[in-house]
Amino acid sequence: DAMVIQNPRYQVTQFGKPVTLSCSQTLNHNVMYWYQQKSSQAPKLLFHYYDKDFNNEADTPDNFQSRRPNTSFCFLDIRSPGLGDAAMYLCATSRPGQGYEQYFGPGTRLTVT
Amino acid sequence: KQEVTQIPAALSVPEGENLVLNCSFTDSAIYNLQWFRQDPGKGLTSLLLIQSSQREQTSGRLNASLDKSSGRSTLYIAASQPGDSATYLCAVSSISSGSARQLTFGSGTQLTVLP
């Protein structure tokens, strides 16, 4: 089945220790997104790629960066995680031919100790 | 700036009841509206997408309507089941954002269907 895959599902890191979350897709969608979701809150868009074109949200902290080496993979790098970065990180994909309907992965739960 | 509101934040109903979840948005200039389901600790599952030119979409026991002029959408769930228990989120893509790619989410309605 075509899908969006996120690894790992659970990640524990130490305060200030860089961490990378990964997302892959078999849908061959042009657009890939990273969202941050804290408990009982709406997902917050961090950035998205349209093909290789990177789009950063204005209020995304500099601490967050992303890489998309090819169509299938996208990475979220958190350079110096703080306690406030503990959250669920969601990856999603979409394509223009489907009205940009977004398909989400299962998420990575990040804990910062 | 687009704002999306979902009221109530939580809803509890007995099994078998038909129910309506509400979503409102402040800027009616939208490309589309999407309803999602989120189970605890999981990602979002797309339920229905309604284009701005459409009035409703149906999938199984779900029916979503869109009234763009009043900035409202409803998700109707027929004959609710305990397995429908989840948080339901609506999200819109706004013309003001310049692209249909980006969604603004509501905070969701947490639905519990009691056996």
**pLDDT the model gives residue A47:** 93
Q: What is the pLDDT of residue A99?
A: 84
B100 chain-A contacts, CB cut-off 8 A: 96, 99-100
User: Tokens 């992303």 appear where?
Assistant: A66
CB-based contact A84:A66 (threshold 8 Å): no
Facing residue for A99 by CB, picked from B32, B43, B91: B32
| Token couple for B41 | 């600790």
Provide the β-strand partners of residue A64.
A78
Q: Which residue, B11, B27, B36, is CA-closest to B110?
A: B11
Summarised one tens digit per residue, pLDDT across range A44-53 is: 999 999 999 9
Predicted local distance difference test score (pLDDT) of residue B79: 97
Beta bridge partners of B11: B111
CA distance A35 to A33: 7
Distance CA A74, CA A72 (A): 7
Q: For residue A45, list chain B residues with Cβ-Cβ distance below 8 A.
A: 102-103
Task: Classify the C-alpha dihedral A19-A42-B97-B36 as positive or negative.
Answer: positive
The gap from C-alpha A60 to its chain's centroid, in whole angstroms, comes to 12
Which pLDDT score, from 0 to 100, does residue A96 have?
A: 87
State residue B100's pLDDT score: 79
pLDDT for B62: 97
- With CA atoms as reference, the chain B residue closest to A100 would be B101
List chain A pLDDT tens, one digit each, 113 residues: 669 999 999 999 999 999 999 999 999 999 999 999 998 899 999 999 999 999 998 899 999 999 999 999 999 999 999 999 999 999 999 998 888 999 999 999 999 99
Q: pLDDT below 70 — which residues of chain B? A: none
* A83 closest CA partner among A64, A111, A46: A111
CB-count burial class (<10 Å; 0-12, 13-18, 19+) for B115: exposed
DSSP bridge pairs for B25 = B4
| Model pLDDT, residue A89 | 98
Rounded distance between C-alpha atoms, residue A20 and residue A3, angstroms: 20
Q: What span, in angstroms and rounded, lies between the C-alpha atoms of A109 and A50? A: 25
Q: How far apart are CA A94 and CA A30, in angstroms?
A: 7
Q: What is the pLDDT of residue A1?
A: 66
| Mutation target among A3, A11, A40, A109 for the B interface, most CBs of B within 10 A | A40
